């Protein structure tokens, strides 16, 4: 079978992109190599490790298990889109405070997953946080800092009346 190419027109972190790509290019590879947003990482290419997690229309998904061509007309948010000109997202700040990252490779996937989670559950229990990241493997931190950071960020956002 020969390669087939197709146009992709998609919005990532509020910016529109149009590229022509090999249809078998994954969305993860598209983000990383076609438009240079290397914050999303590839850890397994079979949907288990969660390092490639991004948000499509606000839902957390594995970008390694989606084709770039399937992203046409979708709204994508990656880790690069979590901070604003005003500063890092409260969850990013909390990760920093609580030493919730060491090598940083799983971190983008953790952040996108948890941002989507906190939008749905703004006052989670510890068990709920652990369950929320059950599909994100970390080999460095042992998860404790990540959980502490998430609970802290949730508390702070609730107190400030902010949404995740």
Partner 1 sequence: MKPSPFSYHDPSTCDEAVDLLGSLDNARPLSGGQSLFPLMHFRYVMPDHVVDLNGVKELNYIRAQSGFLHFGAITRQSQIEFSEDVGRVAPIVVEALKYVGHRQTRNRGTIGGSLSHFDPTAELANVSMLHDAELDVRSKSGQRKIAMQDFGKGFMTTDIQDGEILADIAFKVWGDGHGYAFEEVSKRRGDFAITAVGAMAELGPDGAIQRAAIAVSGVAPVPFRLAAAEQALAGQRPSHELIRMAAIEASKAEAMSDAHVDASYRQHLARILTYRALERALKRAAEKQRG
Partner 2 sequence: MGAKWFGAAVKRKEDPAFLTGAARFVDDIRLPGTLHAAFVRSPHSHARIVSIDTSAAKQAPGVRAILTFNDLPEQLRATPMPLWVPNPAIIQPFLQYTLAKDEVCLVGEPIAIVVADTRHRAEDAAVLVNVEYETLPAASDCEEAFKPGAPLVHAGASSNVAAEVLVNVGDTDAAFANAAHAFKRRIHQHRGGAFFIECRGLVVNYEPVQGLLTIYIASQGPHRVKRALMELLHLPDHRVRAIAPDVGGGFGPKQSFYPEYVAVAVAAMQLACPVKWIEDRRENFVATNQERDQYWDMEIAVDNDARLLGLRGEMVHDCGAYIPWGIILPWIAATTVPGPYVLPAYRLKYYAVMTNKIPCTPVRGAGRPQAVVTMERMMDLVAHELKIDRAEVRRRNFIQPSQMPYKVGIVFRDGREVIYDSGDYPKTQSDALEAAGYKNFKERQEAARKEGRYIGIGISNSVEATGLGPYEGATVRISTDGGITVFTGATPQGQSHKTTLAQIAADHFGVHINDVEIVTADTATIALGIGSSAARTAVNAGNSVHLAAIEVAKKVRKLAAEMMEASPDDIELSDGFARVRGSNRQQSFRELAIRSIGVPGFAMNEEPGLEHTSYFLPPRSAYANATHIAEVEVDIETGQTTILRFTVVHDCGRAINPLVVEGQVIGGIAHGIGNALFERLIYDDNAQPVTINFGEYAMPAAPDVPNFDIKHNETPSPLNPLGVKGAGEGGTIASIAAILGAVEHALEPFGVTVDEAPMLPHRLVDKLGEAALGRTR
Cα–Cα distance list, 11 to 8, 17, 22, 47, 72 (Å): 10, 6, 19, 23, 8
Within 3-42, the residues that bind partner 2 by CB under 8 A are: 3, 22, 24-25, 32-33, 36-42
Return the structure tokens found at 81.
């889109």
Residue 151 near residue 97, CB atoms below 8 Å: no
67, 147, 154, 164: which one binds partner 2 (CB under 8 A): 147
Task: Name which of partner 1, partner 2, none residue 125 binds, using a CB cut-off of 5 to 8 Å depending on partner kind.
Answer: none
User: Alpha-carbon distance 15 to 78, whole Å?
Assistant: 12
Residues 6+ apart with CB under 8 A from 148: 98, 100
Within 90-129, the residues that bind partner 2 by CB under 8 A are: 92, 95-97, 99, 101-108, 111, 126-127, 129
Residues near partner 2 (CB under 8 A): 2-3, 22, 24-25, 32-33, 36-46, 48-49, 51, 78-80, 82-83, 88, 92, 95-97, 99, 101-108, 111, 126-127, 129-131, 133-147
């Amino acid at each position: 079978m020969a390669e087939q190419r197709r146009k992709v027109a998609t919005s990532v972190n509020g910016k529109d992109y149009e590229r022509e790509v090999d249809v078998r290019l994954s969305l993860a590879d598209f983000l990383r190599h076609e438009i240079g947003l290397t914050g999303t990482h590839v850890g397994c290419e079979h949907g288990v490790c969660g390092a490639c997690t991004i948000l499509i229309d606000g839902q957390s998904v594995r970008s390694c298990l989606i084709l770039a061509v399937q992203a046409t007309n979708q709204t994508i948010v990656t880790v690069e889109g979590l901070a604003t000109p005003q500063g890092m997202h409260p969850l990013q700040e909390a990760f920093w405070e609580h030493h919730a990252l060491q090598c940083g490779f799983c971190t983008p996937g953790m952040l996108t997953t948890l941002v989507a989670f906190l939008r749905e559950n703004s006052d989670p229990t510890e068990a709920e946080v652990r369950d929320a990241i059950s599909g994100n493997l970390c080999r460095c931190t042992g998860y404790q800092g990540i959980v502490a950071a998430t609970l802290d960020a949730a508390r702070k956002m609730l107190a400030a009346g902010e949404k995740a």
